[in-house]
Amino acid sequence: MRIFEFSKLENCDLIIDAIYEGGNKGNVGDDPINKILPVGNQGGFRYAGSLNSLKYIILYTSGENIDWPDTIDTETGIFQYYGDNKKPGHELHDTKKNGNTILKNLFESLHSNESPRAKIPPIFIFKKHPTQNSNRSVQFKGLCVPGTTNKNQLEDLVAIWKTTNGLRFQNYSAFFTILNIAKISRKWLDNLDKRFIDTEVEPLIFNQWKKNGRYSPLTSQKTVSIRTINEQLPDNKIEWKLLEAIFEYFSSEPILFEYLAAEIYRMTDSKIIIDEVTRGTIDGGRDAIGRIKLGLNDDPIFAEFAIEAKCYNPGVLNKKINTVGVKEVSRIISRIRNRQFGILVTTSAIAKQAYDEVRTDGHPIIFISGKDIVKILLEKGINTIPILKEYLNENFKKQSE
């Protein structure tokens, strides 16, 4: 992975996934983004120019905000970014950095009938990536534009409600496409800052999108489709606490976890239908069965699936991790029928050998691990221990209580 030193940032190009080191003096001057492009040294939204005439925009994400989990799908080139109204007490567009106003203006220009995209400047994505030399270092993730090919104007920018301490407020969820541009030249960056137009140094794909709106996303195929055990478990203390609470709740009645497993998978797609949680009494011992709707609403088809749930210890409560092994995975493989697929949901992780055999042999099995469970619940606003416990108590009542 290429690393650009802090002292050389003012003259560097931007290269996909390269690291741009911050300083190490321990103050805001350590920020590397402001040395690459003069946009200030704080905040998720940074821009040059005025709101009505932007030169360029920087979208910075730490990737650590569990309430507002910005995500980059490297396989599809889609970037989901949340606005900057992240606390109650303010109207949707009443933010210090004007981030939500910028989002509104970007998508209005995208969908305008007159000169669409004309007011959309280049948008650069940076993600927090601490290095040994500096905690302020960042990684360049690409040049993006608002919208995607698979979301219409009712879906690409949505104001969503959330609740914090009983107080309701709105924030934006926005979808961008990272363009298939591997390198941004320093000359173009300098031209942008001077408002100098030179189509010879402007990336061709960006120029074409501005003219005709045709998306050319930076897609990539994973060379390894097996997640390590660590990649299947939480990234931070808050997520670990939530997973621990889930395991502790169901450990005394693990059969009850089958209902949560079915609900977790249902949460991932509005087209999923859970037909029955079987409780091991019918249909070959599968824990739940259901269908996913495919095709047109007027003439759909349904693909059937079976769910296997494993409430295993992910390494909490002073116990060792108990992973899902070959035996358990073989069980669901043997019980899915022709033209069906399977989902294995666990509070823990899938062992390497079991994971490898499923992917190598091409079995149609979806793995949802402890980290995935927490992420799915976070997206639904279940983001604190009290909210989680209330959700579990209301929806998965224990027989012993």
Q: Are 314 and 323 in contact (CB under 8 A)?
A: no
Query: Confidence class of residue 283 from pLDDT cuts 50, 70 and 90?
Result: very low
Alpha-carbon dihedral 255, 290, 389, 385, rounded to 10 degrees? 120
Angle at 179 between CA 176 and CA 180, to 5 degrees: 150
pLDDT value of position 388: 95
- Decide if pLDDT at 281 tops 70: no
Query: Confidence class of residue 9 from pLDDT cuts 50, 70 and 90?
Result: very high
What is d(CA 299, CA 182) in angstroms, rounded to the nearest whole number? 41
pLDDT value of position 83: 96
Greatest pairwise CA separation for the chain in angstroms:
72
Helix ranges (DSSP H) in 313-369 = 326-335, 352-361
Please choose, from the candidates 376, 89, 134, the residue with its C-alpha nearest in 3D space to the C-alpha of residue 243.
Answer: 376
pLDDT tens digits, 185-201: 999 999 999 999 888 99
What is d(CA 357, CA 23) in angstroms, rounded to the nearest whole number? 45
Average pLDDT, the chain: 93
Mean pLDDT, to the nearest integer, of 53-71?
A: 90
Query: Confidence class of residue 105 from pLDDT cuts 50, 70 and 90?
Result: very high
What is d(CA 90, CA 303) in angstroms, rounded to the nearest whole number? 44
pLDDT value of position 241: 96
